[in-house]
């Protein structure tokens, strides 16, 4: 059994185990929000010198995460609407953060501009390549890397997430620099 099939089996078992919690979303008045990002392959959007290898089987990660957190547990996906569909797969560094305020064209602005007054929980799930460097795990976007500690710092320091339960799910290898990571 491959690692990927074990993951799908685990997610399936998890979904069965939370079946009794399916009505959880309708039983409380708050809305829980989610950002789910799945980097699977470079589809020509980047002229970067960083090579993003296709992640075989990764196309299932998005569906599995959405099934568990959106359909079963009732999270509202912020980057799954028509406006933010481009922030769902194969993100560039500029789509992670643009450096401007309130553009809603990057993940950081999408999160900070969202109305989360009644939100109790926020899920940030990211499935991509990763490499371990001296300062820790770095997550690969299509055209470069973001240190995991920067992602955690953003979520921790984001004013709209203060006082909320923040769930971070990262699916990335931890290979060393220059290795395939398979």
What pLDDT is attached to residue 47? 63
Strand 130-133: give its sheet, edge to edge.
144-147, 136-141, 130-133, 175-176
157 has a pLDDT exceeding 90: yes
pLDDT higher than 70, residue 6:
no
- Check: CB of residue 127 under 8 Å from CB of residue 61: yes
Place 134 in a pLDDT band, splitting at 50, 70 and 90.
Answer: confident
Number of alpha carbons in the 13 Å side-chain half-sphere of residue 7: 14
- In degrees rounded to 5, what are phi and psi of residue 21? -100, 0
Q: First CA to last CA across the chain, in angstroms?
A: 15
**DSSP code of residue 89:** B
Distance of alpha carbon 90 from alpha carbon 75, whole angstroms: 22
Backbone angles phi, psi at 78, to 5 degrees: -75, -30
- Over the chain, what is the mean pLDDT? 79
Overall residue count recorded for the chain in this entry = 182
How far is Cα 176 from Cα 182, in angstroms, rounded to an integer? 11
pLDDT digits (tens, 9 = 90+) for 101-122: 767 789 999 898 888 888 899 9
Give me the percent of the chain exceeding a pLDDT of 90: 43
pLDDT tens readout for residues 13-61: 444 444 444 444 444 446 899 999 999 988 765 566 778 888 888 888 8
Q: Give the up-direction half-sphere exposure of residue 63: CA atoms within 13 A in the CB hemisphere.
A: 6
Q: Higher-confidence residue: 45 or 160?
A: 160
pLDDT at residue 173 above 70? yes
Give the global pTM. 0.78
CB 91 within 8 A of CB 105: no
């Amino acid at each position: 059994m491959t690692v990927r099939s074990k993951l799908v089996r685990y997610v399936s078992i998890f979904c069965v185990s939370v079946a009794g919690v399916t009505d959880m979303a309708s039983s409380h008045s708050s809305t829980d929000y989610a950002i789910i990002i799945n980097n699977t392959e470079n589809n020509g959007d980047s002229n970067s010198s960083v090579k993003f290898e296709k992640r075989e089987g990764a196309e299932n990660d998005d569906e599995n995460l959405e099934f568990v957190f959106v359909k079963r547990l009732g999270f509202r996906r912020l980057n799954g609407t028509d406006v933010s569909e481009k922030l769902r797969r194969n993100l560039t560094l500029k789509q992670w953060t643009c450096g401007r305020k309130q553009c809603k064209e990057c993940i950081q602005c999408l999160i900070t501009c969202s109305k989360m007054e009644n939100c109790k929980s926020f899920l940030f799930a990211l499935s991509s390549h990763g490499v371990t460097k001296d300062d820790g795990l770095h997550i690969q976007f299509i055209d470069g890397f973001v240190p995991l500690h920067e992602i955690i710092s953003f979520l921790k320091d984001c004013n709209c997430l203060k006082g909320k339960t923040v769930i971070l799910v990262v699916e990335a290898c931890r290979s060393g620099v220059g290795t395939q990571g398979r």
